[in-house]
Amino acid sequence: MLSIGLATSIVLQLTLLAAGRAEAGPNAAELGHAGSLVSGTRFPLAAKDVAAASPPIDLGLDRRQNAGDSCGPTAGNASCGADLCCSAAGLCGTGRDFCDAPACQFEYGPACDANAVPSGENTTSVPRPEFGSVLWGGGGVTQCSEPGTIAITYDDGPYIYTSELLDILNDNGVPATFFITSVNLDKGGIDNESTDWPDILLRMRDDGHQIASHTWSHQNLNDITSAQRFDQMVKNEMAFRNVLGYFPTYMRPPYNTCLRTAGCVDDLETLGYHIIKFNVDTLDYANLTPDTIQNSKDIFSNALAGGDPATSSFIVGNHDIHPQTVTNLTQFIIDEGKAQGYTFKTVGDCLGDPKGNWYRDPATGNAISAAAKRADSASSKNLVVARAAGAASSAAAESTAASASASATAESGSSGLIALGKRLGLTVSLVNVAFVLF
């Protein structure tokens, strides 16, 4: 019998495109935006101190609400059944309107997106040594240390507009910093291989952008418990590790706020994070139309007018989940910044921090090494080769199938090819290409 070897993994990609949301992206209410607020060694964390990768809080209630029933604080702290979510309106149910993060009340809805857990070992016990000269924890970094630089940043992605944004940045030769949230906006998790997100994160890295954390599900870190804050950070670390092989040391708190009085600063210091805020908030999330995005442009222009490249620097806050930010505002910021004599850099670069310090090795807790950076390049080349091989193999298989059976065109993915091979009397072998992703 004929043997067909496919020199690649076949990955089915899903493109998320929510009906009725493509024009403006998620609105401020969905994201919880009510406005914006403008050296040593740490010991490894003890597992008992962290609720990482843990189930939702057990409130000690015997009663579990059914779909359509009330839940949450307005219902006497009643929780929904195991397969249900508690919506922002306090009703049990399923689907995006009930389960979407950050709106879903995850303490009362076990199936809320925020309660999902990434695969693999949690990162709780990873050592957290400090390295480099950038402030760890504290009140947060709001501007670059190098005058004449602009760090353009994007929160809440990746999303359905992020690939186009990467094209724009690449065309302009501008690096950016992406503060990533894993499971917001019903997107399924950044390490979910049935989505485009893993490939988008790898492209961010390979294009020279900086990848940083924006928590697991975009909860306000001042409003949750210490255990829940650890959960928000550790689960995001696990997802990053699953895609990149390491996780960031830089983060931005949702809503640009992390208060020491709430315990937030202390927790992020314990976890070994640089807290990055901004000194220019474009308010892009409040200016979602072609007309109103001019307000965001004016905010940026006014900030530049009040500065001088010889002495000033800016960290600019945007969101890549809004189309006007991607297709309109970004090019304006780039053109205006360059015209005023500024240079665009990642946050890490504009703070003078070596690239290796931007990420932590989950095996040692140290900054990633030069060897890991070389492996980045090698793995990216392997990925390109594998995709090309996958396309060629798929084309060959489809050609064979078409000549043998018209019904075979309805089959896709590895299971479909195996089934097709059996019908044709072939032995189909799927050979996975292994990557070392650091």
Mean pLDDT of all residues in the chain? 80
Which has the minimum average pLDDT: 268-272, 319-323, 401-405?
Answer: 401-405
Residue 111 lies in a domain: yes
Let me know whether 274 and 421 are in one domain: no
pLDDT digits (tens, 9 = 90+) for 32-83: 453 332 233 343 443 334 444 444 444 444 468 898 999 999 999 999 999 9
Residue 40 lies in a domain: no
Let me know whether 344 and 317 are in one domain: yes
Residue 44 lies in a domain: no
Tokens 């018209």 found at: 406
* pLDDT for residue 373: 53
Q: How would you class 172 by CB atoms within 10 Å of its CB: exposed for 0-12, middle for 13-18, buried for 19 or more?
A: middle
* pLDDT for residue 369: 78
Residue 46 lies in a domain: no
- What is the bridge-based pairing of β-strands 128-129 and 41-42? antiparallel
Residue 47 lies in a domain: no
* pLDDT for residue 24: 61
- 48 Cβ partners below 8 Å, 6+ apart? none
Residue 5 has pLDDT above 80, yes or no: no
pLDDT digits (tens, 9 = 90+) for 94-135: 999 999 999 999 999 999 999 999 999 999 999 999 999 999
Residue 49 lies in a domain: no
Let me know whether 163 and 256 are in one domain: yes
Residue range 350-373: mean pLDDT, rounded:
89
The residue among 271, 44, 276 whose CA lies nearest residue 151 is 276
First to last CA, the chain: 40
d(CA 249, CA 348): 10
What would you measure as the largest C-alpha separation in the chain, in angstroms?
A: 75
Let me know whether 274 and 146 are in one domain: yes
The letter for the amino acid at 430 is L
- 123 Cβ partners below 8 Å, 6+ apart? 52, 234, 237, 238, 241, 247, 362
- What is the bridge-based pairing of β-strands 85-86 and 92-93? antiparallel
**Residue at which a domain ends, from 116, 136, 153:** 116
d(CA 38, CA 140): 12
* pLDDT for residue 14: 33
Residue 227 has pLDDT above 60, yes or no: yes
H or E stretch at 169: helix 162-172
- For 276, the token pair is 């990055």
pLDDT digits (tens, 9 = 90+) for 284-329: 999 999 999 999 999 999 999 999 999 999 999 999 999 999 999 9
Let me know whether 101 and 8 are in one domain: no
| DSSP-H helix ranges across 12-161 | 28-31, 96-99
Let me know whether 158 and 96 are in one domain: no
* pLDDT for residue 28: 53
- For 26, the token pair is 């998620």
Residue range 404-431: mean pLDDT, rounded:
38
Tell me: cis bond preceding 102? Omega within 30 of 0 counts: yes
CA 2, 435, 157: angle at the middle one, nearest 5? 120
Dihedral of the alpha carbons of 67, 68, 72, 73, in degrees to the nearest 10: -160
Tokens 């959960």 found at: 231
* pLDDT for residue 395: 46
* pLDDT for residue 94: 97
Q: 46 or 242: whose pLDDT is higher?
A: 242
Contact 156, 229 (CB under 8 A): no
**Residue at which a domain ends, from 314, 345, 368:** 368
Instruction: Give this prediction's pTM.
Output: 0.76
Tokens 């724009």 found at: 168
Residue range 376-399: mean pLDDT, rounded:
46
Residue 45 lies in a domain: no
Let me know whether 397 and 341 are in one domain: no
Residue 418 has pLDDT above 50, yes or no: no
* pLDDT for residue 336: 98
**Residue at which a domain ends, from 343, 368, 393:** 368
- For 13, the token pair is 């990609």
* pLDDT for residue 64: 82
Let me know whether 68 and 108 are in one domain: yes
Tell me: cis bond preceding 309? Omega within 30 of 0 counts: no
pLDDT digits (tens, 9 = 90+) for 134-186: 999 999 999 999 999 999 999 999 999 999 999 999 999 999 999 999 999 99
C-alpha pair distances (Å), 55 with each of 14, 79, 101, 361, 384: 27, 13, 16, 26, 38
Q: 29 or 192: whose pLDDT is higher?
A: 192
- For 68, the token pair is 């359509």
Please tell me the total count of domains within the chain. Answer: 3
* pLDDT for residue 384: 41
Residue range 393-422: mean pLDDT, rounded:
41
By percentage, how much of the chain surpasses pLDDT 70? 70
CATH code of the domain covering residue 174: 3.20.20.370
d(CA 78, CA 87): 12
- 356 Cβ partners below 8 Å, 6+ apart? 367, 368, 369, 370, 372, 373
Let me know whether 25 and 69 are in one domain: no
Residue range 184-190: mean pLDDT, rounded:
94
C-alpha pair distances (Å), 300 with each of 33, 63, 205, 284: 20, 52, 26, 11
Task: Give the residue numbers spanning the domain of 401.
Answer: 1-31+377-438
* pLDDT for residue 8: 35
Q: 227 or 432: whose pLDDT is higher?
A: 227
Give bridge partners of residue 275 from the DSSP assignment.
251
SS3 162: helix
Let me know whether 361 and 300 are in one domain: yes
Let me know whether 78 and 4 are in one domain: no
φ and ψ at residue 378, rounded to 5 degrees: -65, -45
The letter for the amino acid at 410 is A
SS3 242: helix
Residues with active-site annotation: 155, 319
φ and ψ at residue 83, rounded to 5 degrees: -105, 20
CATH code of the domain covering residue 103: 3.30.60.10
d(CA 104, CA 113): 8
Let me know whether 174 and 255 are in one domain: yes
* pLDDT for residue 25: 65
Residue 39 lies in a domain: no
